[in-house]
Amino acid sequence: NYGFAVAPKDHDCAGGAKPVPTAPKALSSAMERALMECDDKWANKAEIAEMLHPDIVYRTMDGKTWTGRRAATDKMNHSIAQMTVRMKRSAKKSWDIVKWRDTWVATEPERKAPGVWVMEFRIKLLLMSIKFREEYVIDDRGRILELTRVRLS
């Protein structure tokens, strides 16, 4: 490298850490809103597309991989559609869905490695508690290049 120091991806030239990228938290907040509003087209919005790299690699909890923005957003929409069907079936009244808002808990994005950020989630639905982790690989423009969801025990 010809004697020049190269700053790691998530550090600025002054040696300080770059700020936490906004895309992971913004995507998780949008997903939560979609779940509470039963919006199975949420991932089609322009603001979601702007967060995702065109060639995003999206790995779901079932071990499947979806490549490309369109495939990833279609799968994200499908996942919300499946969850809202379950919620509607179990809700006795429409306001029961609103009560679940208090059962969504998410950590702040935490740096795991240069360009890699992790968030953990817990959602309680009736007698079931779902815990999962999302790992985000962020590109130089702050977009999500890879998103991997893993169920936690």
Residues 23-76 have pLDDT tens digits of 999 999 999 889 888 899 999 999 999 999 999 999 999 999 999 999 999 999
68's torsion region: left (phi>0), alpha (psi -120 to 50) or beta? Answer: left
Residues 1-38 have pLDDT tens digits of 333 333 344 444 455 566 899 999 999 999 988 988 88
3-state DSSP assignment of residue 77: helix
pLDDT band at 94 (very low <50, low <70, confident <90, very high): low
Task: Give the per-residue pLDDT at 101.
Answer: 55
* Separation between Cα atoms, residue 44 and residue 74, nearest integer Å: 8
**Closest C-alpha to 126, from 94, 90, 150:** 90
The 10 Å CB-count burial string (b at 16+, else e) for 114-149 is ebbbbbebebeeeeeeeeeebbbbbbeeebbbbbbe
3-state DSSP assignment of residue 39: coil
What is the greatest pairwise CA distance in the chain?
68
Residue 69 and residue 115 in contact, taking contact as beta carbons nearer than 8 Å: no
Task: Give the per-residue pLDDT at 96.
Answer: 56
Residue 55 parent element (H or E): strand 52-59
**13 to each of 6, 21, 38, 45, 98, how far by Cα in Å?**
8, 17, 44, 35, 46
Task: Give the per-residue pLDDT at 44.
Answer: 97
Residue 135 parent element (H or E): strand 128-138
117 vs 127, which has greater pLDDT? 117
